[in-house]
Structure 1
Amino acid sequence: MTTPPALSLDLRGLLCPLPVLRLAKALRSLPEGAVVEMQATDRASWIDVPHFCAQSGHRLVSARDEAGVLIYAVARGPDRPEPES
């Protein structure tokens, strides 16, 4: 059984970098482990979303293409401490 998303984002029609920026903003408002489902039509998101997840500590739960609409499920990762300067 899968957990329903805490939030769904319809970002169809937005171009890079907006889908990832909106996803990042949405994840910041949720607790660790919460899942955001995102729909996008920007083909660059197919590369950008997995890269964003890897760099920011979030988990890409799934990614699929349904007739040109890219649908992602992303689980919020733990907060990372700010790097010391």
Structure 2
Amino acid sequence: METAADTFDLKGLNCPLPVLKARKRLAGMRPGARLWVETTDPLAAIDIPAFCTQEGHRLLETLAVSGGHHFLIERGPARLAETDISG
């Protein structure tokens, strides 16, 4: 069964805002959750895949659409800095 994905509209934003906003949104999601990110920034075609690799997220799909791109990202595992180890 395929997991449903939210859509995050980042159209009209230019580098580095699509990556920064996607990072913040994904940080609030559980590992394994999926998010469609919609952009119009041409650099997002480079920046979003690089961000996913760097942060440990899975880029499941990239679609070139009229005026931009859509990216389906699966949230990677929580990083040590994101978890509460004080307890």
Q: TM-score, normalised by structure 1?
A: 0.89
SS at structure 1 position matched to 2:80: coil
Is 1:78 the equivalent of 2:68?
Answer: no
Alignment correspondent of 2:43: 44
C-alpha contact 2:61 2:71 (8 A) present in aligned 1: yes
Residue 63 of structure 2 is aligned to residue 64 of structure 1: yes
| Deviation of 1:32 (Å) | 0.4
Counterpart for residue 2 of structure 2: 2
Matched to 2:48, the amino acid is V
Structure 1 window deviating more from structure 2 (34-43 vs 61-70): it is 61-70
For structure 1, which runs of at least 5 residues remain unmatched after alignment? none
How many matched pairs? Answer: 81
**Can you list the C-alpha shifts for 1:43-63, whole angstroms capped at 9, x where unaligned?**
000000000000000000111
Aligned to 1:55: 54
Normalising by structure 2, what TM-score? Answer: 0.87
TM superposition shift of 1:12: 0.6
Q: Deviations over 1:11-60 (max 9, x none)?
A: 11100000011100110111000001110000000000000000000000
Q: Give, in whole Å, the separation in 2 of the partners of 1:12 and 1:78.
A: 27
